[in-house]
Amino acid sequence: MELDAATGQFVEALLAEGHHSLRNFRKLVGSWHVTGERLDEATGDWMPREFDYLVAWVLEGRAIQDLEVVTLPDGTRRTVAIGLRVADPQAGVARVSFFSPDANEYTSMIASTWRGGVRQDGSQNDGRPIRWNFTDIREDGYDWQGWVSDDEGATWHLVEELHGQRTA
């Protein structure tokens, strides 16, 4: 894709160097190939998932933006989700917004350090609490789990599990 001057200026202004207050996400910056499964809560079936996860510093290094890009059967690529993690140094957390219009997912979360990884707590569209955990973040890979609670956080059940392998 060729960029016009205005788009090129936008991309140049958008991308940035990293920031120390998002150090928990630092290892995620780059490109990843992700595979895993998501639970269809209506049927109880686990459905395979596969996508590329592209992560970059933005907002003068105060935020990390990510894109979830799938390859369609005809070989074209489509961005299906976007996430933004913005440092909140006063609270010592990251404010997270995630949008996936095709899946009707619009989420706000708070991210903090958890067991050597990152925990993101919030709620999904139906109001149920969610917990998204990046675990075992390495230079070459990571594991991710999505949990949901039906009882305001007293218990949790796994609804998605992903494994990312760095491609760049």
Per-residue DSSP letters for 62-116?
TEEEEEEEEE-TTS-EEEEEEEEEEEETTTTEEEEEEEEGGGTEEEEEEEEEETT
**Does residue 157 have a pLDDT over 60?**
yes
The pTM assigned to this predicted structure is 0.86
Classify 123 as helix, strand or coil.
Answer: strand
**pLDDT one-digit tens code per residue, 33-48:** 999 999 999 999 999 9
Both tokens of residue 147? 């949990």
How many structural domains comprise the chain? 1
**Does residue 108 have a pLDDT over 60?**
yes
Nearest to 144 by CA among 75, 87, 83: 83
- The pLDDT of residue 115: 82
Q: Which of 10-14, 24-28, 137-141 has the highest mean pLDDT?
A: 137-141
| Position 25 confidence tier, pLDDT thresholds 50, 70, 90 | confident
**Does residue 10 have a pLDDT over 90?**
no
**Does residue 3 have a pLDDT over 80?**
no
Tell me the torsion sign for CA atoms 22, 60, 139, 132.
positive
Residue range of the domain that includes 151? 5-166
| Position 1 confidence tier, pLDDT thresholds 50, 70, 90 | low
CATH number of the structural domain spanning residue 19 = 2.40.128.20
